[in-house]
Amino acid sequence: MIWCVEDDASIRDIEVYALQSTGFEAKGFEDGQVFWDALQKEAPELVILDVMLPGLDGIELLRRMKSSSAFSAIPVVMATAKGAEYDKIQGLDLGADYYLVKPFGVMELVSCVKAVLRRCQPQKASSLLQSGGISLNPDEHIVTANGARVELTYKEYELLRLFLQHPGMAFTRDQLMEKVWGTDYYGETRTIDMHIRTLRQKLGACGEQIGTVRGVGYRLGTEPTAPSALWAAPEL
């Protein structure tokens, strides 16, 4: 949700319409106090804040937002008819993310909002799965062992990914069969042993991390863990 704080109704309506027309949710506020009261109940993705507002002006609102741990991370685009360098510096020094000088076009507004949101979005957490020298990138479907690329079949890849997602957890052959081959597969569990052996060979020295748990099955790593509770037997 993008909030537009602008006392000029015609400009406010244009801002809201332009944003909504390009796929954003947007809402307008006619004065600073109404905006500030609403902010106590809900947080927008970004605020377009006019400097010259009745009551609480844009500079004071920006100062309050950036000094509050609850609101300081909300991106703010300042919009004003003032083009003086001092006004820009004051807003930027207080933490504004961008400064638009009126009159500005609707496409400039939309492009500015997209750019600021893109820049302020938190970095995507790494989805890389690693253990020892083994690295699996699920986004690119790449596996390496001690830095060397390893080519795996689909089933080998899925086995390794399951192990890396649950390091130290012991899986029975039936559990591995269910998760990797699917419940509708009726092959022998010996298939698991064959794939594990091949997977170990392809991983080289790193393959030693896939250990055999006597009487249970297999696990990645050396930390002892009971057979997976993720597949606990259903109650009868």
Task: Sketch out the chain's domains with CATH numbers.
Answer: 2-120 (3.40.50.2300), 129-231 (1.10.10.10)
The DSSP H or E segment spanning 100 is strand 98-101
pLDDT at res. 107: 92
pLDDT at res. 127: 77
List, in sequence order, the alpha helices (H) in the chain: 9-21, 32-39, 58-66, 85-93, 106-120, 154-165, 173-176, 190-203
Identify whether 103 is preceded by a cis peptide bond (ω within 30 of 0). Answer: yes
Nearest to 171 by CA among 158, 187, 152, 184: 158
pLDDT at res. 52: 86
- C-alpha span between 91 and 98 (Å, rounded): 9
Per-block mean pLDDT, blocks of 10 residues, the chain (236 long): 94 94 93 93 93 88 90 90 67 84 90 89 70 88 91 90 91 86 62 91 94 90 47 39
pLDDT at res. 96: 87
Asked if residues 56 and 31 have their Cβ atoms less than 8 Å apart, the reply is yes
Q: For residue 12, give every residue at least 6 positions away whose Cβ sits within 8 Å of its Cβ, in sequence order, or none.
A: 4, 6, 28, 29, 30
Asked if residues 169 and 162 have their Cβ atoms less than 8 Å apart, the reply is no
- C-alpha span between 130 and 126 (Å, rounded): 11
Residue 217 bridge partners (DSSP): 172, 213
